[in-house]
Structure 1
């Protein structure tokens, strides 16, 4: 089994929305764990990667090449109605903040919770709310009435955003060992590389200025960035 790491750097404030808000606080809350750390679900990330790869494959002018890369994409991401014989070979983990940071803070939060259980009057020095608020902020926006240029009534909306410059990482696990000398596996990596580089926006409001990201693919065992290897980009480019 092979594994790679997809690293995501937020270039602008981003909302990894969870589909609801918090009454009296925000209309759109970010997805976060019980410690207050925001994250992007692996299924969502895989869908974004699949969408970018589909867009790239769709613009290949040569039909035979387009069919070839479509087949590669189906093997990589799977397709609707797939069975055990033709399911996706890649599984994407949640995109989270660096593990060492989360582990250190989670240990402190667990310690604070234990003290609180032992003594109900104990006031924790650090809570999951503190963590969430330190990594995010709240943005507000309103619609403009085109007739008078003033704010439209009852249009004020608030959304929590994850602060720019924060790094996230997701593990990409493959059902089998990829051989970088195999022509078939070279195609899989080539498509994944160009899809990773093409992924520039994610999260809610990604078409309205939020969610600008920079993504890179890494082989952690070799400590090397796969997206810097031009051979993969060139391999996909031959079909265009």
Structure 2
């Protein structure tokens, strides 16, 4: 069973890479091979897991299923168990159990993406640079060497695919439909007001595709 995750981002947002542009900005946003913005499926999966965890702890779900495959909690069943603290990659892999939900990267609609991929003059308009500095509270003057710049993406809508092939998939999507209302920001620097978003689930549109995480 598949459904479409619609992410309507209503403010500047930043999905960072950890890379800089040298002396101009300190953090660039992540782009696909065509230079277009997207949200990584693993990031979306983390947001959904956090929302499900909170909703479950607050008693939003009355009809919890019988957990399978050794998972001890609803989030583990849906999204997979987390690795134990270990220095061995091999041991970590064998100590985790995958969840039943897969989430693709969130991308622009196919028609928009194809158009922008071949129009660099339009594609550049998707991004802005914003700057901030720390102010000394005693003097009211900017602190020396505190100026920071980041690249951000303009408000837009992205679409991802959520897949669940479990026999209880219909119930799983009911859980997700309730919990996603707890997600109101996406991307990085959410505590600074970036990435305000409204998220919804609906029937899958064939025009939006992505790679699942």
Query: Where on the TM-score scale, by shorter chain, does this alignment land: which range?
Result: 0.7 to 0.9
Q: Which one of 156, 159, 167 corresponds to residue 157 of structure 2?
A: 167
Q: Which one of 50, 72, 77 corresponds to residue 75 of structure 1?
A: 77
**Contact 1:72/1:187 (8 A) holds in 2:** no
**Contact 1:36/1:131 (8 A) holds in 2:** no
Structure 1 vs Structure 2 CA RMSD: 2.9
Which structure has the highest helix share of the two? 1
TM-score (norm 1): 0.71
TM-score (norm 2): 0.79
- Residue 188 of structure 1 aligns to a residue whose secondary structure is helix
Q: Which residue of 2 aligns with 1:151?
A: 142
In the TM superposition, residue 16 of structure 1 has moved relative to its aligned partner by 1.1
In the TM superposition, residue 220 of structure 1 has moved relative to its aligned partner by 2.3
Q: How many pairs are equivalent? A: 192
In the TM superposition, residue 186 of structure 1 has moved relative to its aligned partner by 4.2
Unaligned runs of 5+ in 2: 84-92, 207-213
Unaligned runs of 5+ in 1: 110-125, 179-183, 223-240
- Residue 51 of structure 2 aligns to a residue whose secondary structure is helix
Q: In structure 1, how many angstroms separate the alpha carbons of the residues matched to 2:14 and 2:38?
A: 10
Q: Which residue of 2 aligns with 1:207?
A: 191
The 4+ residue runs of structure 1 with deviation greater than 6 A are 82-85
**Contact 2:81/2:96 (8 A) holds in 1:** no
Change (3 A) 1:12 1:105: closer
Q: Which residue of 2 aligns with 1:88?
A: 99
**Contact 1:90/1:172 (8 A) holds in 2:** yes
**Contact 1:15/1:161 (8 A) holds in 2:** yes
Q: Which residue of 1 aligns with 2:21?
A: 22
Q: Which residue of 2 aligns with 1:99?
A: 110
Q: In structure 2, how many angstroms separate the alpha carbons of the residues matched to 1:14 and 1:199?
A: 14
